Amino acid sequence: MKTTKTIFQDGDHKWVAIVRDPQKPNHLIDTNEYLVTHGGRGLVLDPGGAEIFPAVFSALSAEFDPSALAGVFASHQDPDCCSSLALWLEFNPAMRCYVSWMWSGFLPHFGGSAETFIPIPDQGLDIPLDGLMLQAIPAHYLHSSGNFHLYDKQAKILFSGDVGAALLPPGMDGLFVEDFDAHIGHAEGFHKRWMGSNEAKRDWCERVSQLDIDLLCPQHGAIYRGADVQRFINWFDELPVGILSR
């Protein structure tokens, strides 16, 4: 079963990371799911693939009543992000799924009805959660052509989807990045191959440099905190990615 780690709490405003399942089959890529709660409502960020739904659901339900989930935020269209959607909707068909307009016609293949999807326009969207306003930040062409990250101004947390992801070897599975130089080697190949455009990458680096971020939370690997956040942005800004990195 996955474990939950509270990474931010201020009263009823909370961020929970759902991570590291020792029982997870090796052929599935390891993913981090995040739960943002505020007031009595919650939002799951990249809730994961269908096969890991039991592990994510059980871990989440130990922390929060799943029937109080308002929705799902899908950074992009990949199955490891949101192929569990149909299962979440079994519990609460009123849940909404925020996703790039580009993928709002594709994700219904995972489940949901015409009402389920709230398409995010290219420039981004403010997403309300029981009085809290979260921001969908554009990250297009960083892994996916229609891609968004989620910023919480109050908690100073940026959920960065596949940006910042690292494929960590066994034994190196801490929740936070402890040694940036040792860690970043495990992120390099992934970013070079999966991020499609240097121009898009520069845009993103500029955009997020202007945000006040304490924690940068990727969908795979460890969370960057404190000075490592800016260190990562600088590293990423310098890294040749996509076809130019050959």
Dihedral sign for Cα 161, 165, 169, 173, please: negative
- Which residue, 106 or 206, has its beta carbon nearer to another protein? 106
What is the contact mask toward another protein in residues 42 to 81, using x (rule: CB under 8 A)?
--------xx-xxx-xx--xx---xx--------------
- 30-52: b (≥16 Cβ within 10 Å) or e: bbbbbbbbbeebbbbbbbbbbeb
- Which residue, 68 or 182, has its beta carbon nearer to another protein? 68
Judged by CB under 8 A, the number of residues near another protein is: 16
- Which residue, 58 or 209, has its beta carbon nearer to another protein? 58
Integer Cα distance of 187 and 163 in angstroms: 9
Nearest approach, Cβ of residue 84 and another protein (Å) = 8
Nearest approach, Cβ of residue 80 and another protein (Å) = 15
- Cβ atoms within 10 Å, residue 138: 21
What is each CA distance from 245 to 132, 191, 192, in whole angstroms? 40, 10, 6
Q: Is the CB of residue 19 less than 8 Å from the CB of residue 2?
A: yes
- Which residue, 62 or 133, has its beta carbon nearer to another protein? 62
Which 82-141 positions form the footprint of another protein (CB under 8 A)? 86-87, 90-91
Residues interacting with another protein, by CB under 8 A? 1, 50-51, 53-55, 57-58, 61-62, 66-67, 86-87, 90-91
